[in-house]
Amino acid sequence: MRLLGYYEGYLGFLSHMPREDMARARVIDVGCGTGAMGEAFAAIHGPPAEMTLLDPSAQMLSAASSALAHRGIAPECRVAGLDAATRGSYDHVLAAHVIEHFSDQGTALADLRRITAPGGRLWLVASKPHWCNAIIWLQWRHRTFRKDALQVMLRDAGFLPEAVYDFPSGPPSRTSFGIVARAV
């Protein structure tokens, strides 16, 4: 992800909102993959009180845990799906390029809301329609979203979208967008 500019893109996305005190914050990176989003979050906001990594792949969790160790964070790692996360537990929910892989995105967004504490933030990065994503679709059959449609889905799931972020350069500018939403 670093070679393609996603880590740098995540830095921009995560820094465009006011910083918050992380001294008591509970953060989960859902579908953490290599940990690029969680690492970028820690780089911008500082180490949270608790960091949980959730991914169905033990290999990805290992890579993500190593990335966060470089920032002095020893995350709790869970080889599991979204249903394994605890209700209303997290102040910040990170979900980078995860929603595309669920067969029912409405249910997945409702599950993300279920694990977000009232007033907590969802930092969501999603794929947008672009020919680059057509190539990815051939391999993994993931979906793409229009910004307006995803914002409606977030509202339906119990989130209030606060900001939409357009990645300014590199592959993320062509393949992705970010939305920050509050749990209501």
Domain locations along the chain: 6-183
With 0.85 as the threshold, say if the pTM is over it. yes
Query: Could you report the per-residue pLDDT of 157-166, keeping only the tens digit for each?
Result: 999 999 999 9
Strand order through the sheet with 176-183? 76-79, 50-55, 26-30, 90-96, 116-127, 176-183, 159-166
- Which residues of the chain fall short of a pLDDT of 50? none
pLDDT recorded at residue 122: 98
State the CATH architecture for 6-183: 3-Layer(aba) Sandwich (3.40)
